[in-house]
Amino acid sequence: MDSPPRPASSMNGTTSSLNRVFFQGTPSVLLIRWFAFLILIGTLLLMLPWAHARDRVGPLDALFTSASAVCVTGLTVVDTGRDFTLFGQLVILLLIQLGGLGILTFAGLAFQMFGARMPVASESAIGDSLFQQSVAADLKSWLKSTVKITLLIEGAGAALLFFSLAPGGQLPHSAFSAAFHSVSAFCNAGFSLYSNNLCGLRENIPFVGTIMILIVLGGIGHIVLLEASRACKNYRRSEALPAPFRFSFHSRVAIRITVALILTGALGLGLFDWLDGRPTEGGFFAGSLFQSITARTAGFNTISISALPPASILLLICLMFIGGSPGSCAGGIKTTSFALALARIVAGIRNRKEVSLMGRALPDALISRAVALIGLALLWNAFGAMLLAVTEFGHASVADVLFEQTSAFGTVGLSTGITPHLTTIGRIWIVLTMFAGRIGPLTLAFSFVAPSRSNVSYPEGKVMIG
């Protein structure tokens, strides 16, 4: 006997409830809900019997792997290539892609395919996470361009990686490995199908070079890629001599700081290896330069991190803390926040009230936001390092736990080797840190603390400093 049709009022109530949970609220709350939901779904899928090898992946391992994939970190407590089946690896690949671009991006495209419009808060959340600005008026165009550029870069990267792997392996495995590592590199995830990450491939210069290009493109920010794409289109369509293209102020800052950090990190790592009296593993290109690029965003490694000298470990911690650029797949405090902090320091040393950068005056509100972000990041990492120093006492040094903590916060994925040996509390904290690093400490703060305005003006107070 057929069951009676469900009342329309009940269906409308269910739709309304789902809409309230997933599409209504402040942008900060929506980002937290969607990323947490994706981590939960990924955990359930990775716990399925056909997703992993028997007795090798437990519930906490599945949660850790799902969070690491969604937050595009790359820290692993199990071997991705050995302990997960093809189905499990495909789930991880999907989580990396959804986490890298943001699940709200794909939700927005789905809404547009059905001719509907997302709630304003959801559109604002997409604009904040991808472009750091309001794009509601042209959201459809921006989303399509972003996804198109992403798939184009990942496809080209996969093709280059395949041709660099094909001569030495089976074609099906080379094809899947190329696609997996291309997505992982562009999304700055750092997941690898090989037990020693990319150490066994550091002599494969075409492979290593392609990975580096993908990491830089994925960590530079979607707004920079969109500007570059539109500049190329305008150049091709122009019949006369096109006017010289000029990136926006944001893009120029992001590009300059990115290049400066890459070169400084590479030279520093090479110098510290030389002072330590040993040649750099893999040479300068596949050693120092590669690790300088991957340390801020991706987490791949072609050398043994635990074997690096202490000065190199500290330099990598600094690079991981800074991270990539806003609106990208990377974590950390971001390159632009670092640039603003340096500009504020220079202005303070020169006793100048106005803060300027590259010939532009910086608003006080922007400086205050950057200072708050860096302050929250320092507090989070200081607390996390102390917590891990307690929970991991006996099998990890202070340098190890500080490196692990910063790597998780910067969603980098590099490790000195203590990740698989973390205690239950340590693993849960690292999961929370990866989540905070991907969402952003300011976003978390805004979701818990409501903004307040006050007309009260307090008398000025002076204290001694320095």
pLDDT for the residue 319: 95
Please state, in angstroms and rounded to a whole number, the distance separating the CA atoms of residues 440 and 373.
8
pLDDT for the residue 10: 47
Enumerate the β-bridge partners of residue 84. Answer: 52
Residue 135 CB neighbours (<10 A): 20
Task: Give the chain's residues under pLDDT 50.
Answer: 1, 8, 10-11, 14-15, 18, 114-116, 131, 134-137, 241
Please state, in angstroms and rounded to a whole number, the distance separating the CA atoms of residues 188 and 414.
12
Estimate the crossing angle of helix 441-448 against helix 364-391, to 10 degrees. Answer: 100
Please state, in angstroms and rounded to a whole number, the distance separating the CA atoms of residues 186 and 218.
4
Please state, in angstroms and rounded to a whole number, the distance separating the CA atoms of residues 408 and 387.
14
pLDDT for the residue 434: 94
pLDDT for the residue 276: 84
pLDDT for the residue 8: 47
3-state SS, one letter per residue, for 182-231: HHHHHCCCCCCCCCCCCHHHCCCHHHHHHHHHHHHHHHCCHHHHHHHHHH
pLDDT for the residue 461: 79
Domain extents in the chain: 23-236+247-447
pLDDT tens digit string along 263-312? Answer: 999 999 999 988 887 777 777 787 889 999 999 888 899 988 988 999 99
Instruction: Report how far apart the first and last C-alpha atoms of the chain are (Å, whole number).
Output: 82
pLDDT tens digit string along 177-215? Answer: 999 999 999 999 989 999 889 988 988 999 999 999 999
Q: What DSSP designation does 52 have? A: B
| Residues in Cβ contact with 370 at an 8 Å cutoff, skipping those fewer than 6 apart | 336, 337, 340, 341, 344
Q: What is the pTM of this model?
A: 0.86
Residue 453 CB neighbours (<10 A): 4
